[in-house]
Structure formats: C-alpha cells, structure tokens
C-alpha cells in the first residue's frame, strides 16, 4: 500500500498484515489485521504508532515513509500511545536508524520502553493536557486513558485537523477491504467490520469496559473530526458511530446484552447432545435468535464474541474425570477472565457416577453477575421426562431473553 492522506501533511503509513501467527499468540486472525501508523509533518516530523516486524509490515512502513520523502534521520518524534508490541515491536530498529527521534509516551509508557527495548535516553514522558508544537500549525495534545488497553495508554489529538489518534480504542481485527475510511466502506463490507470489531472487543478490550466508558467520558469535550485507531477503519465521516458502537460493546459488560442466546456445547458420546436437541427446540419455539457453538471444535475467540453480545448463555457439557469437560472449563475460564457479565444462564450435562461438572460450573459462575436457572443434570442418557424439562426450561429462558430490549442502534455509517 502507499501512504494515504488524512489531512494536509497527515498520512496513514501503516501496514495490512496477513500472518499464520495468532494475535497475542491466542486469537486467530484469518482476515489479518491492520497495523495503523501515521506521519504528521509540521516543521518537525512526528510518527504516531509504529508496527511490528510481522508479515512484511516493517518494510511496508519504511516504504511508506520513503514515499513521503521522510528520511528516518529526519524523524523528530515517535509517539507511542500504547506499548503493546503489535505497535511498538519496530521501536528498537527504527530508533537505530532514526537516532534523532525522541520517543513520546506516558510515564508508565517510558518504563515499558526501557523494559521492552532497553531504551532510556531521549524518552519524553507526557501527561494529560500536555502539548507538543510541531510547527506549521500542527500541535499534538495528549490524554491518558489508562487501561484501554494497558495501564500506560494515552491518545494523541492533533488540534488543527481535529484528528484523534486513539490507539487500540475503536479498533478491530481484519485488514482493510478496499479503503481505510468509514465513508468508503460499502454496505457489503460493513458486516465484516461489525463482526471483526466485536470479536476484537470481546477478545482484547472486554475486561476493560469500565475504563472504555471512563475514557469516552473524559474525551467528550474534545472537538473530534476523525478517529484514527491503531487497528481497523479510520472514522472520518462518522466518528460518533464508532463511539456509540464502543459504548454499546462496553455496556454489554454492565447490563444484559442483545436479546439472543449463545449456546455452547461439548459431548463425548452423545448423551449431552441429546439434551441439546431439546434445548434448541425450546429456544426455537419462542423465535429467539440463537448461535450454537461446539467445543473444542470452534475456536474460543469466536464463541467469546457470540457470548459477549448475547443476553442468554446456555452451557451444555458432561463430567470428565470428576470435573467439567476440559475444553468447556477452558472456555468458562475465558468468560471469567474477560468479565462476560450479566447473562441469563443455564447449565445442562450428563455424568456417569460422581458428577463434577456442575460443581465446576457453580464455581466458575461465582461473581459473574449471572441470573442462573436451576441446572439440568442427568445420569447417562436423558429420560423422556428430563428431555421435556430441558425443552421447557429453554423456552423459559428464551421468553426472558425476548423481553430484553435490543441495543443495536448504530449502523448508519
Ligand atoms: C474420560 C472420561 C472420564 C469420565 N469421568 C467421569 C467422572 O469423573 N465422573 C462421572 O460422573 N462421570 C465421568 N465420566 C462419564 C461421563 O460423564 C458420562 O459417560 C456422560 O454420559 C458423557 O456424556 P456425553 O455422552 O455427552 O459425552 C467420564 C467419561 C469419560 C469418557
Ligand atoms: Fe493493545
Ligand atoms: Fe493493538
């Protein structure tokens, strides 16, 4: 790709990366990921965000700089909003070819620059409200937004163009499809962004939802024309849409989410699966939207996104060696870790002699702010009566979920 103009003397210089690697070593990115970085030319030159050496990203970044006639030794500032290595992996190499560049980050960011890259000199710590005059009308202003995603995180606002360089906030998985801009994104591509934004949020940001709300509130007086995150689309026509989208996602962690049910199940020999059939019949009879996922067959990254946006959550799995079926236990631990709160929840599953899965379920659902329906467990295969009970309990949960108002109101971009 070539540099893309956001405003006079402000360009996107990032890279779209396809890689076999998992994001953070955990999350699949079959659609790749955009590592957005930006160059701002006043009398001084600032780069906001970098890339990591990943799928050719570092070379693309350097080629983009070259196309803008920015020699590395002419870079005055490297602004690091967030120190996670998807954005900063290239810091050490860039500093070695851009020795004049001063790294600009928060106090906590400076500690991480030292910790990750062993760089101590020419590192400037900034705090909320600090400004950096680049000349020719370009002024950067910094605002700390701790824990969106890491504790050191800040955003950078360019006052003349009113562009907010937002870091991970408002980001998404997935490379750009045809354009980096919201207003050049056709209807056909929007569902791609919606699902990749939600999955990114559920996988990476969900735990920090209260901090997202706090950050959005703390920036609400800024006159923002464009939101330029470090992943995903640049929102130049409808920054309010992505703000509303992120508030919606953040609120999934504060209250019941969308009127849908996420069913996650696993079974070794088909006994639990028999009950699944009844449960699905109960949900379908109420006409409630459902997404059904089998563990360990489907990657937890996708199931997490589905569970995060659903007001109803049904977990079905057997006992395995006195505990919960291991892939389900792993998934439930992820729900805990990511603070997937406020769900109407049912557990069902088969056991042979002692049971154990239900006990794990109860332990793993502590402190999750869930509204839990009496579990349905059965020895071996479910009887006719148990199957009928499964259907009617699922019908009840579907009825309750139907009463929850939908929160989706932000599609217009
Ligand atoms: C490897 C393995 C370990 C098991 N461990 C236990 C156990 O500790 N306690 C128990 O009550 N049942 C145990 N069971 C029995 C299963 O929970 C039981 O067969 C159940 O019906 C399986 O449900 P499914 O057909 O949905 O896989 C175990 C079964 C297997 C295959
Ligand atoms: Fe991050
Ligand atoms: Fe990131």
Q: Is the CB of 355 under 6 A from ligand 1?
A: yes
Specify the residue for token string 């562009």: 163
Whose CA is closest to atom 30 on ligand 1?
320
Q: How far does residue 208's CA lie from ligand 2's centre (Å)?
A: 11
pLDDT higher than threshold 70 for residue 32:
yes
- pLDDT at residue 28 in the model: 98
**Distance, CA of 344 to CA of 315 (rounded, Å):** 11
Q: Give the ligand at the shortest distance from the Cα of 153.
A: 2
- pLDDT at residue 413 in the model: 73
- pLDDT at residue 409 in the model: 75
Question: Please, what's the b/e burial string for 318-342 (b: 16 or more CB within 10 A of its CB; e: otherwise)?
Answer: bbbeeebbebbbebbebbbebbbbb
* 310 sits in which H/E element: strand 310-316
Residues 149 and 266 in one domain: no
Name the residue of 351, 376, 377 to mutate for ligand 1: max ligand atoms within 8 A of Cβ. 351
pLDDT tens-digit map of 190-234? 999 999 999 999 999 999 999 999 999 999 999 999 999 999 999
pLDDT higher than threshold 70 for residue 50:
yes
Q: Which of 199, 231, 251 is the last residue of a domain?
A: 251
Read off the CATH number of the domain in which 279 is found: 3.40.50.360
**Distance, CA of 412 to CA of 395 (rounded, Å):** 34
Name the residue of 270, 277, 320 to mutate for ligand 1: max ligand atoms within 8 A of Cβ. 320
Number of domains within the chain: 2
pLDDT higher than threshold 80 for residue 186:
yes
Q: How far does residue 81's CA lie from ligand 2's centre (Å)?
A: 10
**Residue 407 is assigned to a structural domain of this protein:** no
Residues 267 and 209 in one domain: no
For residue 97, the tally of other CB atoms under 10 A from its CB is 12
Q: What is the value of pTM for the model shown?
A: 0.96
Q: Is the CB of 269 under 6 A from ligand 1?
A: yes
Read off the CATH number of the domain in which 16 is found: 3.60.15.10
Q: How far does residue 268's CA lie from ligand 1's centre (Å)?
A: 8
**Residue 409 is assigned to a structural domain of this protein:** no
pLDDT tens-digit map of 62-78? 999 999 999 999 999 99
Q: Is the CB of 320 under 6 A from ligand 1?
A: yes
Residues 310 and 375 in one domain: yes
Q: How far does residue 24's CA lie from ligand 2's centre (Å)?
A: 9
Residues 275 and 391 in one domain: yes
Q: Is the CB of 377 under 6 A from ligand 1?
A: no
Q: How far does residue 24's CA lie from ligand 3's centre (Å)?
A: 9
Instruction: Please name which of 282, 325, 305 lies closest in space to residue 315, comparing C-alpha atoms.
Output: 325
Q: How far does residue 23's CA lie from ligand 3's centre (Å)?
A: 9
Specify the residue for token string 């500093």: 95
Q: Which of 203, 224, 251 is the last residue of a domain?
A: 251
pLDDT tens-digit map of 265-285? 999 999 999 999 999 999 999
Residues 175 and 323 in one domain: no
pLDDT tens-digit map of 94-121? 999 999 999 999 999 999 999 999 999 9
Q: How far does residue 167's CA lie from ligand 2's centre (Å)?
A: 8
**Residue 282 is assigned to a structural domain of this protein:** yes
Task: For residue 206, give Cα distances in angstroms to 153, 200, 336.
Answer: 16, 9, 11
When pLDDT is averaged across residues 362-385 and rounded to a whole number, the result is 98
When pLDDT is averaged across residues 298-304 and rounded to a whole number, the result is 98
**Residue 410 is assigned to a structural domain of this protein:** no
Residues 189 and 328 in one domain: no
Name the residue of 296, 323, 329, 352 to mutate for ligand 1: max ligand atoms within 8 A of Cβ. 352
When pLDDT is averaged across residues 347-368 and rounded to a whole number, the result is 98
Q: Is the CB of 142 under 6 A from ligand 1?
A: no
**Distance, CA of 182 to CA of 190 (rounded, Å):** 9
Q: How far does residue 167's CA lie from ligand 3's centre (Å)?
A: 7
Whose CA is closest to atom 12 on ligand 1?
352
Whose CA is closest to atom 17 on ligand 1?
351
Instruction: Please name which of 135, 136, 146, 140 lies closest in space to residue 124, comparing C-alpha atoms.
Output: 140
Residues 384 and 246 in one domain: no
- pLDDT at residue 1 in the model: 67
> Which residue segment(s) compose the domain that 344 sits in?
258-402
When pLDDT is averaged across residues 346-369 and rounded to a whole number, the result is 98
Residues 158 and 276 in one domain: no
Contact predicate 145/153, CB 8 Å: yes
pLDDT higher than threshold 90 for residue 410:
no
């Amino acid at each position: 790709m070539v540099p893309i103009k956001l405003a006079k003397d402000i360009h996107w210089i990032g890279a779209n990366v396809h890689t076999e690697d998992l994001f953070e070593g955990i999350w699949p990115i079959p659609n790749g990921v955009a590592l957005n970085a930006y160059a701002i030319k006043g009398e001084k030159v600032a780069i906001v965000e970098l890339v990591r050496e990943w799928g050719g990203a570092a070379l693309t970044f350097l080629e983009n700089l070259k196309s803008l006639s920015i020699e590395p030794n002419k870079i005055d500032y490297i602004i690091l909003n967030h120190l996670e290595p998807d954005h900063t992996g290239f810091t050490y190499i860039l500093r070695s070819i851009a020795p004049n560049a001063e790294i600009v980050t928060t106090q906590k960011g400076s500690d991480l620059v030292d910790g990750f890259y062993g760089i101590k000199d020419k590192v400037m710590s900034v705090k909320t409200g600090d400004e950096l005059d680049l000349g020719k009308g370009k002024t950067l202003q910094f605002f700390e937004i701790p824990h969106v995603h890491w504790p050191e995180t800040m955003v950078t606002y360019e006052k003349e163009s009113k562009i907010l360089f937002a870091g991970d906030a408002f980001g998404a998985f997935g490379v750009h499809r045809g354009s980096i801009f919201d207003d050049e994104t056709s209807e056909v591509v929007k569902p791609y962004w919606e699902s990749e934004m939600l999955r990114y949020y559920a996988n990476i940001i969900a735990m920090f939802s209260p901090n997202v709300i706090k950050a959005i509130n703390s920036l609400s007086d800024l006159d923002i024309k464009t939101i330029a995150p470090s992943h995903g689309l640049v929102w130049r026509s409808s920054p309010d849409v992505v703000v509303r989208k992120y508030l919606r996602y953040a609120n999934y962690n504060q209250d019941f989410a969308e009127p849908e049910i996420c069913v996650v199940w696993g079974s070794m020999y088909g006994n639990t699966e028999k009950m699944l059939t009844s449960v699905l019949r109960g949900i379908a009879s109420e006409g409630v939207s459902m997404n059904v996922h089998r563990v360990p067959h489907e990657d937890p990254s996708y199931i997490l996104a589905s569970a995060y946006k659903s007001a109803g959550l049904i977990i079905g799995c057997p006992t395995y060696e006195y505990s919960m079926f291991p892939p389900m236990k792993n998934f439930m631990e992820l729900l805990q870790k990511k603070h997937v709160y406020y769900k109407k929840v049912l557990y069902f599953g088969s056991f042979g002699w002692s049971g154990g899965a239900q006990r794990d379920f109860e332990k793993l659902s502590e402190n999750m702010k869930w509204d839990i329906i009496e579990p349905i467990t059965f020895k071996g295969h479910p009887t006719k009566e148990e199957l009928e009970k499964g259907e009617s309990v699922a019908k009840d949960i579907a009825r309750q979920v139907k009463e929850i108002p939908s929160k989706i109101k932000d599609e217009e971009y």
